[in-house]
Structure 1
Amino acid sequence: MLAVPYMQMRGGSSKGLYFLASDLPRNEALRDQVILDAVGRDARQIDGLGGGNPLTSKVAVVSKSSLPECDIDYLFVQVVVGENRVDTSPNCGNILAGVGAFAIENGLVDAQDGITIVRVNMVNSGNRCDLDVQTPNQKVQYEGDAAIDGVPGTAAPVICNYKDIAGSITGILLPTGNIKDTFDGVEVTCIDNGMPVVLMRASDLGVSGYESADELNANETLKAKIESIRLQAGEAMNLGDVTDKVVPKMSLIARPVDGGHICSRTFIPRVCHTAIGVLGAVSVATAAAMPGNVAEGIAEVPEGDVKTISVEHPSGEFSMTLTFDQQNNVTKAGLLRTARLLARGELFVPINK
């Protein structure tokens, strides 16, 4: 048995294991095997700490950053449930919400009295996010009055300020070069502003876009059509063969019904999310604000270069403040998340690493 120090944290509406890079093997292949043993290799993850769901099968690997403008490096690892493999191609903004607290708790960043700004290099994409972490008396505070949909109760706010995230994975905001494309007769908008996402009008796929996640997950015909579009869009977005990747995310959109600006149902990539990912929401909101996209006539987007946009999802809504430049690129995305430390200690992997 190999004992590995860890923390388990809820970050935003996800839950994951957080490790110091120095506590894991330096060899990437061995590191990934340790992570698989830690989270669980089978669909139930009965022999690991995962919860048998993509939202609870996530890992953060954190270290001091060698970049002078950043404090820490954050590598996100998605364990693909039931497939005995990991994917490091996407970012995760929910797990990122806990990275600042983890870094402070482990001495990678010195806490300030009041608020500590943790400058994060997102290793998966090379983008940056500054986290405002509540640290009264130079201690991380988890309790507070901030509430986010998809998470019970309240907690201390974590403000995530994303910088220049256009083309995070593909290298360009509109990876196909078009504001609209057509796959299998369905019009889509392919965008990458923090997360590669394909937007599709729900009505074009024979659903309303207001169904529950369970209803959509039970619709095998719908999921097969979405997957066919995803494979074609992945190639067109310069992501290559995405059969074994969790990007692009697929987002069904509809008119807002609960006071937001657009309604979404997002697949990550083949399972409908009970909420929406942080960076996925940024990409959906960005696309909705661009002229000529598939959300025209559906989204209700406010005017101005600084827009607060609310994306509705199955368990509530996600609001963000986006700052646009004259070329309609988002230069800054400000989001409110929360995080909570759930456990800390050592976990044991049953293989000799």
Structure 2
Amino acid sequence: MQRIPCVLMRGGTSKGPFFHAWDLPANVVERDEVLISLMGSGHELEIDGIGGGSPQTSKVAIVSPSLHPDADVDYLFVQVMVAERRVDTAPNCGNMLCAVGPFAIEQGLVKAQGDKTLVRIRNLNTQTFVTSLVQTPGGTVKYEGRTAIDGVPGTAAPIHLTFLDAVGSKTGKLFPTGQARDVFDGTAVTCIDMAMPLMIIEASQLGLAGNERPAALDADSALLERLEALRLQAGRAMGLGDVRGMVIPKPVVVSPPTSDGTLQVRYFMPHNCHRALAITGAIGLATACVTPGTVTAQLLGEHALQLSEVRLEHPSGVIDVALSRDGGKLQASVIRTARRLFSGYVYAPTMRRLAS
């Protein structure tokens, strides 16, 4: 067995191990095999690993010092599949990202700068940049605080994330198909790439109210088949090719809010409904709300185009996204929390056993 230094962290509504890049194999194939093994991928409970048996808890963050002048650290996100023995490094994960700052400071990759420390992060999955403002009174990361986020019990210290250049994260374009609204199999969708490639559909077009619980949606095989058929078409139209082996684009079902939100959301990952909402997905949805011609803009009406803050209702509560422009570029900010859960070593079979 090989022993690998590891820190398990909760980031937002996700959870997973954080590694230094130098503690994992440099060869990508070998690295992925190690991650699959230590997470227990290939079993619905990930019983022979530290994965939690859910896409939200089968995630890995790999962090290293950055050579880019605009970043302090590089962050690679790895989505480890639960039932299949494979990984996907195409998307970013904003929830895991909010724990990168605290990890980098505590591991000595970034020096604390007073009561608050700004960590500049380059996401290697999308080659985009994010700043993370972490509470560091006395030069030490503070996890305790009064900030609550829906989907996580209790309160913690706030972490401010600002996505600086999230437009076209994977495709290079906000609307990769060349338009804000497309029609596949008679269904109107918006294909948008802002922090995460998304395929947005109004709930009524799928025969849904939009307030269904995730478990009910996961059990609706006809719905999942229809979403996947639309997602495959969207992937090709967005220039991503055959996306059957990829987790992008993410299908998102939207409907009018039920309380004081801007929009109600059901976010798929892509074959299971998220129990809350991905941060990168929230960034894309908020952008769609204020962009003319999108499915969301048409649903909400013209007043939404002037919003500077979008409140997204999800199965566990709400996420607020603040929107601003810097030199004409749209930027989005969210407040999240994180927590260090344990640090030590995780054990994985040697490569010789994995190869056999």
TM-score, normalised with respect to structure 1: 0.96
Cα gap change, 1:128 to 1:352, in 2 (>3 Å):
same
| Cα distance in structure 2, aligned partners of 1:276 and 1:303 | 20
**Which stretch shifts more, 92-101 or 305-314?**
305-314
**Distance apart, 1:152 and its partner CA:** 0.6
Cα gap change, 1:325 to 1:300, in 2 (>3 Å):
farther
Paired letter, 1:126: Q
Q: Could you say which residue in structure 2 is the equivalent of 1:25?
A: 25
* Mapped contact 1:256–1:299 kept (Cα < 8 A): no
**Distance apart, 1:301 and its partner CA:** 7.4
Q: Could you say which residue in structure 2 is the equivalent of 1:258?
A: 259
| Cα distance in structure 2, aligned partners of 1:297 and 1:305 | 14
Q: Could you say which residue in structure 2 is the equivalent of 1:290?
A: 291
Q: Could you say which residue in structure 2 is the equivalent of 1:176?
A: 177
| Cα distance in structure 2, aligned partners of 1:32 and 1:302 | 46
| Cα distance in structure 2, aligned partners of 1:197 and 1:99 | 24
Q: Could you say which residue in structure 2 is the equivalent of 1:341?
A: 340
**Distance apart, 1:351 and its partner CA:** 2.3
* Mapped contact 1:60–1:75 kept (Cα < 8 A): yes
Paired letter, 2:250: K
* Mapped contact 1:302–1:308 kept (Cα < 8 A): no
**Distance apart, 1:297 and its partner CA:** 4.5
**Distance apart, 1:324 and its partner CA:** 4.1
Q: Could you say which residue in structure 1 is the equivalent of 2:72?
A: 71
Identity of aligned residues (%): 47
Cα gap change, 1:116 to 1:302, in 2 (>3 Å):
farther
| Cα distance in structure 1, aligned partners of 2:314 and 2:52 | 22
**Distance apart, 1:261 and its partner CA:** 0.4
Paired letter, 1:193: M
CA displacement, residues 141-171 of structure 1 (integer Å, 9 cap, x when unaligned) = 1100011111110000000011011000111
**Distance apart, 1:295 and its partner CA:** 2.0
**Which stretch shifts more, 222-231 or 287-296?**
287-296
**Distance apart, 1:326 and its partner CA:** 9.0
Which aligned pairs between 1:12-161 and structure 2 lie closer than 5 A?
Answer: 12-42=12-42, 43-161=44-162
| Cα distance in structure 2, aligned partners of 1:155 and 1:149 | 12
CA displacement, residues 155-204 of structure 1 (integer Å, 9 cap, x when unaligned) = 00000011011000111000100111011110000101100001101000
CA displacement, residues 305-343 of structure 1 (integer Å, 9 cap, x when unaligned) = 66110111111111010114797x52x111101000001
CA displacement, residues 255-282 of structure 1 (integer Å, 9 cap, x when unaligned) = 0112010111111101011111001011
* Mapped contact 2:150–2:316 kept (Cα < 8 A): yes
* Mapped contact 1:322–1:334 kept (Cα < 8 A): yes
Q: Provide the secondary structure at the position in 2 that maps to 1:283.
A: helix
| Cα distance in structure 2, aligned partners of 1:316 and 1:158 | 18
| Cα distance in structure 2, aligned partners of 1:190 and 1:352 | 40
| Cα distance in structure 1, aligned partners of 2:235 and 2:304 | 31
Paired letter, 2:23: D
Paired letter, 1:350: P
**Distance apart, 1:249 and its partner CA:** 0.6
Paired letter, 1:262: L
Q: Could you say which residue in structure 2 is the equivalent of 1:4?
A: 4
Paired letter, 2:222: T
* Mapped contact 1:261–1:301 kept (Cα < 8 A): no
**Distance apart, 1:300 and its partner CA:** 6.2
**Distance apart, 1:296 and its partner CA:** 3.5
* Mapped contact 1:261–1:300 kept (Cα < 8 A): no
* Mapped contact 2:41–2:51 kept (Cα < 8 A): no
Paired letter, 2:20: L
* Mapped contact 1:305–1:323 kept (Cα < 8 A): no
| Cα distance in structure 2, aligned partners of 1:176 and 1:237 | 5
* Mapped contact 1:93–1:278 kept (Cα < 8 A): yes
* Mapped contact 1:306–1:323 kept (Cα < 8 A): no
* Mapped contact 2:297–2:304 kept (Cα < 8 A): no
* Mapped contact 1:98–1:340 kept (Cα < 8 A): yes
Q: Could you say which residue in structure 1 is the equivalent of 2:219?
A: 218
Q: Which runs of 5+ in 1 are unaligned?
A: none
Q: Which runs of 5+ in 2 are unaligned?
A: none
Cα gap change, 1:137 to 1:344, in 2 (>3 Å):
same
| Cα distance in structure 1, aligned partners of 2:100 and 2:58 | 16
How many matched pairs? 351
| Aligned-residue CA RMSD (Å) | 1.5
Q: Could you say which residue in structure 2 is the equivalent of 1:273?
A: 274
| Cα distance in structure 2, aligned partners of 1:299 and 1:140 | 40
**Distance apart, 1:254 and its partner CA:** 0.3
